[in-house]
Every structure is written in C-alpha cells, then in structure tokens.
Structure 1
Amino acid sequence: MKQEAAEEVVKALATETQTPLEIVARMYEQTWAEFSDGARVMDYLTVLVSRRVREDLRTLRKDAH
C-alpha cells in the first residue's frame, strides 16, 4: 500500500474513533504486518486491516469504561 494512502486511512480512523493519531498509526502498522505476512492477495488488505483496527479500538474504548 502506498504510504500516502495508508496515512489517509489512519487519519480517518483516528478522527472517527477520536483516538490519538500515534496510537492508530501504531495499531495499523502492526495489524498490516500481521495480515500481510504470507498474504498472496493484497487487494482487500486495506479494508481488512482498517476493519480490525476499528474493532480493536472499539473494544479498548468499551473495556476502558
């Protein structure tokens, strides 16, 4: 994935979830590494990674309350 596109996705997730950009960027990077390791098809990786990060952030927020 191109760096600019990843940055836009991270910014959107940070805004949507009201989470600091640095946290979302770190989570996105880690999830991308996990999902792309050994992946043959990369076409939908952005969607899958974004979904996982969003779900993880919701879980963290829910657990914090």
Structure 2
Amino acid sequence: MAPSNFEHVVRSIASDTNTPAETVSKMYADVWAEYSDGARVLDYLTVLVTKRVRENLRSVSKDRH
C-alpha cells in the first residue's frame, strides 16, 4: 500500500471512530500483517483490512459502554 494511501485510510478511520491515529495505525499494521501473510492476491486487501479495523474498534467501543 502506498504510504499516502495508508495515512489517508488511518486518518479516516481515526476520525470516524474517534480513536487516536497512533492506535489505528498500529491496529491497521497488525491486521495487514495477519491478512497478507501467505496471501497471493492483494488486490482487495486494503478494503478487507480497513473493514476489520473498523469492526474491531466498534467492538471495543461497545465493550466500554
């Protein structure tokens, strides 16, 4: 993923979920590593990783309430 696209996605998720960008960046990198390990097709990885990070953050948010 291009660095500028990565930064844009992280900023967008952070803004939408009211989560610090550093936290989102770490989660994104972790999920990216998990999903890309052994993957042969990376075309939709950005979409899948973004979706998983948003779901994880929603889950954490619900657990706090």
**TM tier, shorter chain?**
over 0.9
- Structure 2 alignment gaps of length 5 or more: none
- Structure 1 alignment gaps of length 5 or more: none
The CA deviation at 1:3 is 1.1
1:5 aligns with 2:41: no
Aligned sequence identity (%): 57
Summarize deviations over 1:29-52 as a string: whole Å, max 9, x none: 000000000000000000000000
Counting matched residue pairs gives 65
TM normalised by structure 2 equals: 0.98
**What amino acid is aligned across from residue 5 of structure 1 in structure 2?**
N
**What amino acid is aligned across from residue 9 of structure 2 in structure 1?**
V
The CA deviation at 1:4 is 1.1
1:43 aligns with 2:43: yes
Once the two structures are superposed, the pairs formed by residues 15-34 of structure 1 within 5 Å of their partners are 15-34=15-34
RMSD (CA atoms): 0.4
Q: Give distance in 2, aligned partners of 1:54 and 1:4.
A: 19
Q: Give distance in 1, aligned partners of 2:21 and 2:63.
A: 20
TM normalised by structure 1 equals: 0.98
Q: Give distance in 1, aligned partners of 2:39 and 2:8.
A: 23
* Structure 1 ranges of 4+ moved more than 3 A: none
The CA deviation at 1:53 is 0.1
